[in-house]
A and B are shown apart, each in its own frame.
Chain A
Amino acid sequence: MVEFFQQMINGISLGSIYALIALGYTMVYGIIRLINFAHGDIYMVGAFIGFFATTVLKLPFFPAFLMAMAGCAVLGMIIERIAYKPLRHAPTITLLITAIGVSFLLEYGMIWAMTPQPRAYPNLLPTYQFNFSGLIVSVQQLFILVVALVLMVLLHVLVQYTKAGKAMRAVSYDKEAAALMGINVDSVISYTFALGSALAGAAGLLVGVYYNRIDPLMGIMPGLKAFVAAVLGGIGIVPGAMVGGLLMGVAEALVSAFLSSTYRDAVAFAILIIILLIKPAGLLGKKTQEKV
């Protein structure tokens, strides 16, 4: 029983990281109907920015964290401006192939710049562990959970209650009608990319801290799983990405503990297929649901 709760805790920490990445997928999909395959690599870049901030610039956790988020926000906007914006009226498949290209560019650009060698992440947080009668919770896990939660609450407030958030939802629903309200659609798309990418940057640094190890191809698998999480929750729906991410993390932790860690990735995709068979629009998806 303790083992089960232990795996739940591990799964929730992992899942909140998936959720952060999944949010970016879902927001970008919501606003321009693009599966941004480069998103996992933005998360990787976030981890490397954090690495530099802490090793070269010797910054402590929070400044490094903000730097990773800001750096990725800018990166996301640049990618949108250069790679996706010129294709605003192109067929979806063109956009998708471009996204895959951007993904390779980031991965191999980073390999070129940093070598494929994995790097050891510095210890930014205390390694202390709490022991609740056998249940072990590390400070890092608590940190990941709290930070992810705070970011998700902030995002929710922003999307639901601010003028910028309302503009995002309007653009997501109908770009022309939004433009007729005086909304600058291009800039809304741009800051949506910035937001989603900043969350991925945050996740990148958190993962670096959690696993102590980063490399230029680290974004591929979490990127895929976060994408699965986003689809699971209902792509384009913000709370869906949160639920989907947590579910993925927990499922993965439970499967590796009680079945076999070899199968944990297979399980991730099995879950996707089963849920989509039952609910094609995702867990929180409705046909008429807004897409941001």
Chain B
Amino acid sequence: MLSVQGINVFYGKGIHALKDLSLEVGQGEIVTLIGANGAGKSSTLNTISGLVRPRSGSVVFRDMDITKLPAHKIVEAGLCQVPEGRRIFANLTVQTNLELGAYLRKDKAAIARDMQRVYELFPRLAERKQQPAGTLSGGEQQMLAIGRALMSQPQLLMLDEPSMGLAPLLVKEIFRIVQEINRAGTTILLVEQNARMALSIAHRGYVLETGRVVMTDSASVLAEVDEVRKAYLGG
């Protein structure tokens, strides 16, 4: 479904953030990208989303070359990202945030239905529809960011560290919902530092180190590999 081939990303003159990075995501999968701080996880998602331009390499999504497409066209193609740090519109209400998620859609009835679905998925948002999104708690903001992305009806949903800064119970909740979204038919590319949780719900995983893929396998195998256990799973 998504095929990233040998991308190289530079910031400024010196920083070579992604080095010949390739990865594949198949229809219906949950694929996780794990790695330490600064490994290049966000850079990978931002390159796929069109926010960062690779110097070389290609990104193909459902047989369409999206490497040079502007970010808003990539969303139109069915690829949506929940960015690191949520990036919700704090000045707008919860409801308006969700409406903006459906910005490209014109099917009013279906939008209303999806909004209902998001509120069912996240009842806490339903209780806070008219509240400025900036007043939500961290966990609620993460739910809003996911809900907002769902409103675009993505084929492939990319999540950048959805567990960041959340209490363990909430992390569990978020991961359960990610799984639920996947079962409902949305393919998932999940970036995480919480490798244990990520590997527990993913089908396959990639391990990133300083801009390179150093390992890839099924999630269950990765969870047993010594290096991964030592580096990311606390022994």
Measuring CB to CB, which residues of chain A are less than 8 angstroms from any residue of chain B? Answer: 163, 166-167, 169-170, 173-174, 176-185, 288-290
Contacts and interface: CB of A to CB of B under 8 A. Distances in A.
B112 interface: no
Contacts of B47: none
A163 B149 CA distance: 17
Contacts of B103: 163, 167, 181-183
A180 to B, nearest CB: 5
Contacts of B51: 176, 179-180
A251 B146 CA distance: 49
A166 B91 CA distance: 11
Interface in B74-133: 75-76, 80-81, 83, 87-92, 96, 99-101, 103-104
Given A163-B103, A182-B103, A288-B91, A177 B96 contact: no
Contacts of B152: 181-182
A166 B92 contact: yes
A177 B88 CA distance: 7
A174 B83 CA distance: 12
Interface of B: 49-51, 70-72, 75-76, 80-81, 83, 87-92, 96, 99-101, 103-104, 134, 148-149, 152
Contact of B71 (A166, A179, A289): A179
A184 B70 contact: yes
Contacts of B72: 179, 181-185
B71 A290 contact: no
B115 to A, nearest CB: 14
A182 B90 contact: no
B71 A180 contact: yes
A291 B80 CA distance: 25
Given A180-B80, A181-B75, A181-B148, A290 B92 contact: yes
A211 to B, nearest CB: 39
Given A177-B83, A179-B72, A182-B152, 6 more contacts: A166-B96, A167-B103, A174-B89, A176-B71, A181-B75, A288-B134
Nearest to B134: A288
A289 B49 CA distance: 28
A129 B135 CA distance: 52
8 contacts: A173-B91, A177-B87, A177-B88, A178-B100, A180-B49, A182-B72, A182-B104, A288-B90
A166 B75 contact: no
B83 A166 contact: no
Nearest to B77: A182
A170 B75 CA distance: 16
A286 to B, nearest CB: 10
Contacts of A184: 70, 72
Given A181-B103, A181-B148, A181-B152, A173 B75 contact: no
A166 B89 CA distance: 10
Contacts of A179: 50-51, 70-72, 75
Contacts of A169: 89, 91-92
Contacts of A174: 87, 89
A178 B152 CA distance: 12
Q: What are the 9 A-B residue pairs with the smallest beta carbon separation, nearest first?
A: A290-B91, A182-B75, A179-B71, A177-B87, A182-B104, A184-B72, A182-B72, A181-B103, A181-B100
Nearest to A185: B72
B100 A173 contact: no
A21 B203 CA distance: 58
A251 B126 CA distance: 47
A289 B100 contact: no
Given A182-B72, A183-B103, A289 B91 contact: yes
Most chain B CB within 10 A, of A170, A174, A181, A289, is at: A181
Contacts of B134: 288
Contact of B75 (A176, A180, A288, A290): A180
Most chain A CB within 10 A, of B49, B72, B76, B96, is at: B72
B91 A183 contact: no
Contacts of A289: 91
B150 to A, nearest CB: 12
A181 B87 contact: no
Contact of A173 (B76, B90, B104): B90
